[in-house]
Chain A
Amino acid sequence: MVVPVVFFGVLFAYPVTAIVGRGLRTPGQWHLGRAGQVLTDPDVLDVLWFTVWQAAASTVCTLAIALPGAYVFARFDFPGKQLLRAVVTVPFVLPTVVVGSAFLALLGRGGALDEWFGVRLDTSVWAILLAHVFINYAVVVRTVGGLWSQLDPRQEEAARVLGAGRLAAWARVTLPALAPSIAAAGLIVFLFTFTSFGVIQVLGGPRFATLEVEVYRQTAALLDLPTAAVLTLLQFAAVTVLLAAHARTVRKRRASLSMVPAAQTARRPQSGGQWALLAGVLGVVALLILVPLGILVERSLDSPHGYGLQHFRALGSADSSGTFTVAPAAAIGNSLAYAAVATLIALFVGGLAAAALTVRGAGRVTERLVRGFDSMLMLPLGTSAVTVGFGFLIALDEPPLDLRATWIIVPLAQSLVGIPFVVRTMLPVLRAVDVRLREAAAVLGASPFRAWREVDLPLVRRAVLVAAGFAFAVSLGEFGATVFIARPDAPTLPVAVARFLGRAGEVNYGQAMAMSTILMLVCTCTLLALERIRTDSSGEF
C-alpha cells in the first residue's frame, strides 16, 4: 500500500496542489477572496450550469440507448459478438480529440451530413450529446451487461412460476439486482461527461464550455491562474462527491446475488421479438459507432485527387510547414513506447494497490482506510488532465524531482489514468479467489508464497493481461496531460492529431484523419486481443 500512496502523493497530489497554490497564493498569503469573486461571476455560473446539465443529459441518453445493448450482449449469443464488443469499446479508449474530429467530419461544415442532407449540428448541443453517447456506450454495456450476463436466469424463472408476468418478473427481480450497477454506470458516465474536454473543445465552438475547457482556456490562453485554480478546485469537489456516490453504489452491489458463469446464460435469440431487439441494437451500434469511425477512415483516404493513401504516405516524411521537426510517423513509435512503459508502471502500482485492497480490513478503521484508498485511486479519472499536466510542468521541474527534461515524465502521467483501470480489473478477480483454494494448497505442502504462485497467479494472469491491455489503450489515447509535457520533438499520436487539426488546410486535415485512423486501428487490435483473453466479461466500472 505504501508504494501506490507515495506514487499518488508525488505524481498526483503534489502537482495538483502546486498549481492550485500557484493560483491562489502570493508568497506568504492566501487569496481566498478570489474564490468568492470567481464563483459569483455570471459567466462562470453559466459554465457550471452547462457542465451539469449536459452531463445529466448525456448520462440519460447513454443509459437509454445503451441499456438495450447491455441486455443483448448479456443474454444473446450471436456470431461476431466478440468482435462487436471490441468495436463498441474502441470509442471509449479513443482520444477525445479524435472523437471530436470524427463527429466534426460527420456533422460539421462540409461533413458527411452536410454534403448529403444539408444538416449541420456541429455548434449545437446535439453533436456533443451524440459524441458523449458514442464514447460512453461501452461503459454501460460492460458494467451493466457484465453483471447481467452472470445473473442467474432461474431467479426470474422462479418469479414467473410464482405468478409474475414477464415484465413484472423483470421489474421485481432483475431490475433491483441490476439497479446498483446501473447507478454505478450512470455515475461514471456523468463523471466522464462532467469533465469532458476534447469533445467540447472540438465540437462546442465558442458557445459551449465545460469547467475543464474553461480551466484550459484560463490556463493556456488567458494565463489567468487564479481563476483556473478556483475552477479546478470546484471541479475537484464535484468529482469527489461523485466518486463517493459511486463507491457507495458499488459497495451495495456486493450484496449477494445469485451468479452463474456468463456462458450459461447467453443463448440464440428465439422469438421474433428477440430477433427484432437484436437487429435494433445492431442498427444503433452501426449508426452511432460504426458510422463515425467509418467517416474517420473515409476522410483519411479522401484527397483532392480521389481516394488514396497520400495522407498516410505523407506521415512518413518530415513536413515543410514546420508543424513537426520529425516525421509524424515517428509519433507512432513514441506513442507505442510511452504507452508500453506507462502500462508497466500502471501494472506495478495498480497491482500493488489491488493486492492491498484485497486484504480484508481487520477493524472498522482499516476498512474505512481501504475504502478511502479505493476512491483515491479513481480520482485521476475525474480530475482535470489539463491541471495534472500543467501541474507536472510547474511542480516537477526542480531537484530533487526534475523530471521535466526526461522522457519518463510522459509515461508517468499516462500511467495515472491507467492505474484506475488496472485496479478495477484486477480487484474483482483477486477478491474472488477462494481462500480455501490457498488452504488446500497449504495442506498439500505449499508454502504461502508457493500457494500464491500456484493458485492466485494462474487465476489472476488473465486479469493482468486484460488490465495491461486497458492501461495500454488508455495511455495511448491520453491527451489532456500529455499535450503539456510531451517534448516538441517527441509528440505522441493524439498530440500529433491535435496539432494537425489546429492548422488549416486540406492536407493537415487529411493527415490528422490518417493519424486518427492509425490510432483507432491500434486501439481496436489491442481490444480484440483482450476479447480473446477475456472469458468473463465482468470488468468493474
Chain B
Amino acid sequence: MLRLDGVTVSFGGVRALDAVDLEVADHETVCVLGPSGSGKSTLLRVVAGLQQPDAGRVWLAGWDRTHVPPHKRGVGLMFQDHQLFPQRDVEGNVAFGLRMRHAARAESAERVTELLEMVGLPSAHRRAVATLSGGEQQRVALARALAPQPDLLMLDEPLGQLDRVLRERLVVELRALFDRLGSTVLAVTHDQGEAFVLADRVVVMNEGRIAQAGTPLEVWQKPASEFVARFLGFDNIVEATVHGDSADTPWGKIPVPEGTQAGPCKLLVRPTGLRTTSVEDGLPCTVEARTFRGGDAAAVTLLLQPRHGPRLEASCALREAPEAGTSIGVAFDEKEVVRIST
C-alpha cells in the first residue's frame, strides 16, 4: 500500500528524516516508535503530502505520489491534538471529508451516524466540539479520519493526551476496530506499550533514521541496538566478550544462551533475568532502592549496586523483595541475556 524510498527531509541543516525506507502492506498496522524529535511526525506529514521531501519518493498503491497535493492523496490523518474544526459541530466535522468528495447528503448522514456509533458516541451529532472531553474529541477525530474510507489511515500520537486507564482501553478498542475494518494503518507514538498492542509491525526511529523494524515480539526480544534497548526501558547493558556459553562482563562471568555468536559485543540482561540468592552463591550486591510498580504481578523493581561493575536493575515479586540497604547475591538466567549486535 505505502512505500517510502530514501525519503529525506531537512529543517535548516538538521535532518528530520534521513534516507528513510519503509513499507506498509495492505491491511497491516505499522507503528512508528521513537522519542520526541526522532522524525516520526515528519514521516506522517511526508506521506500525507503536507511536507515535501528534499529527496526520495512516496508510493501509494503502486503510484508515485511524491508531488501530489494532500487533498488528492486519499489518505487519512488523525492529528496529534485532533484539530477538530471549532466552528462546526460533531456531525459537521465527521461529514467534512464526505462533503469534499461530493457524497450525497443522505448517504453522508447515514455514514456519520454509523461512524459515531462505531466510536461509541451515538447521538452526539449536534454537540459543539468545545464541549467534548479529551477522549470524546479523540473519538470524533477518529470518526472524521475514517469517514472518507481512506486507503491508508495515519494516526499521530493517537492516544497522547488521554489518561492512562482510558488509553489502555482505547488502544485495545482501536486494534479490534482496525482488524474488523481491515484498515491499513500507519501510527506514530512514543509509548511502547501502545505500539506493541496496536501494531502488527513496529518501526523504531532515532534521529531521522530507522533503528529497527519487526514484529513487537521480535523487537522486544532482540533489540537491534543499545538505543532500541534503552528506549524500550532496558538499562542493564554492558560491554562483554562472548566465549562459547558464557561471557566476560564487569559483573564477572555470566551465562549466555546457546548459539550466541562469540566475540566482543554488548550484552543486555533483562531485569527479569536476575534471581536473588544468598550473598555467597551469587554476585554480591547492595539493594540501593526498591520501587513498587503495582500491576498484575505486584512487581518490585530493585536497584542494585554490585561489588564490581555498573548498577543493575532487577525485577522480582513483592513477597520475595529484600529491603533497601540489605546485602544480597544475584544469579543470572541465561534465557534473559541478549547479545546486542553492535
B85 touches A440 (CB 8 A): yes
B48 and chain A: residue at smallest CB distance:
A443
- Complex CA gap A447/B101 in Å reads 11
Q: Is A450 an interface residue (CB 8 A)?
A: yes
Residue from A436, A442, A455 in contact with B71 in the complex, judged by beta carbons closer than 8 Å: A442
- Rounded to whole Å, the gap between the CB of B326 and the closest CB of chain A is 40
B101 and chain A: residue at smallest CB distance:
A445
Q: How many residues of chain B are within 8 Å of chain A by beta carbon?
A: 26
Complex contacts, A441 vs chain B, CB 8 Å: 71, 85, 96, 100
- Rounded to whole Å, the gap between the CB of B89 and the closest CB of chain A is 12
Give the residue among B76, B100, B144 with the most A Cβ atoms within 10 A: B100
Q: Is A43 an interface residue (CB 8 A)?
A: no
A443 touches B76 (CB 8 A): yes
Q: Which of B63-113 contact A (CB under 8 A)?
A: 69-77, 79, 81, 83, 85-88, 96-97, 100-101
Complex contacts, B75 vs chain A, CB 8 Å: 443
A445 touches B85 (CB 8 A): no
> Given A440-B77, A459-B87, are A454 and B96 neighbors across the interface (CB < 8 Å)?
yes
B87 touches A458 (CB 8 A): yes
A444 touches B50 (CB 8 A): no
Complex contacts, B79 vs chain A, CB 8 Å: 436, 439-440
Q: Is B148 an interface residue (CB 8 A)?
A: yes
- Rounded to whole Å, the gap between the CB of B185 and the closest CB of chain A is 15
B83 touches A450 (CB 8 A): no
Residue from A437, A445, A446, A451 in contact with B83 in the complex, judged by beta carbons closer than 8 Å: A437
- Complex CA gap A456/B236 in Å reads 53
A443 touches B96 (CB 8 A): no
Q: Which of A434-485 contact B (CB under 8 A)?
A: 434, 436-437, 439-448, 450-451, 454-455, 458-459
B71 touches A445 (CB 8 A): yes
Give the contact-size bracket for chain A: 10 to 19
Give the residue among B83, B145, B148 with the most A Cβ atoms within 10 A: B83
- Rounded to whole Å, the gap between the CB of A110 and the closest CB of chain B is 55
Complex contacts, B73 vs chain A, CB 8 Å: 443
Residue from A442, A450, A458 in contact with B50 in the complex, judged by beta carbons closer than 8 Å: A442
Q: Which of B126-145 contact A (CB under 8 A)?
A: 144-145
Residue from B77, B81, B101 in contact with A443 in the complex, judged by beta carbons closer than 8 Å: B77
Complex contacts, B50 vs chain A, CB 8 Å: 439, 442-443
- Complex CA gap A439/B73 in Å reads 13
Complex contacts, B101 vs chain A, CB 8 Å: 445
- Complex CA gap A458/B74 in Å reads 25
A455 and chain B: residue at smallest CB distance:
B85
B144 and chain A: residue at smallest CB distance:
A444
A457 and chain B: residue at smallest CB distance:
B87
Interface residues of B (CB under 8 A from A): 48-50, 69-77, 79, 81, 83, 85-88, 96-97, 100-101, 144-145, 148
The 7 closest A-B pairs by CB, nearest first: A445-B100, A444-B97, A442-B70, A440-B83, A443-B77, A458-B87, A442-B71
Known contacts A443-B48, A444-B148; 17 further A-B pairs (Cβ under 8 A): A434-B83, A436-B83, A437-B83, A439-B48, A439-B70, A440-B79, A441-B85, A441-B96, A443-B71, A443-B75, A444-B97, A445-B71, A445-B74, A445-B101, A445-B148, A448-B69, A458-B88
Interface residues of A (CB under 8 A from B): 434, 436-437, 439-448, 450-451, 454-455, 458-459
A-B residue pairs in contact (CB < 8 Å), sample of 26: A434-B83, A436-B83, A439-B48, A439-B83, A440-B77, A441-B71, A441-B85, A441-B100, A442-B49, A442-B69, A442-B71, A443-B48, A443-B50, A444-B97, A444-B145, A445-B72, A445-B74, A445-B101, A445-B148, A446-B71, A447-B69, A447-B71, A454-B96, A455-B85, A458-B87, A459-B87
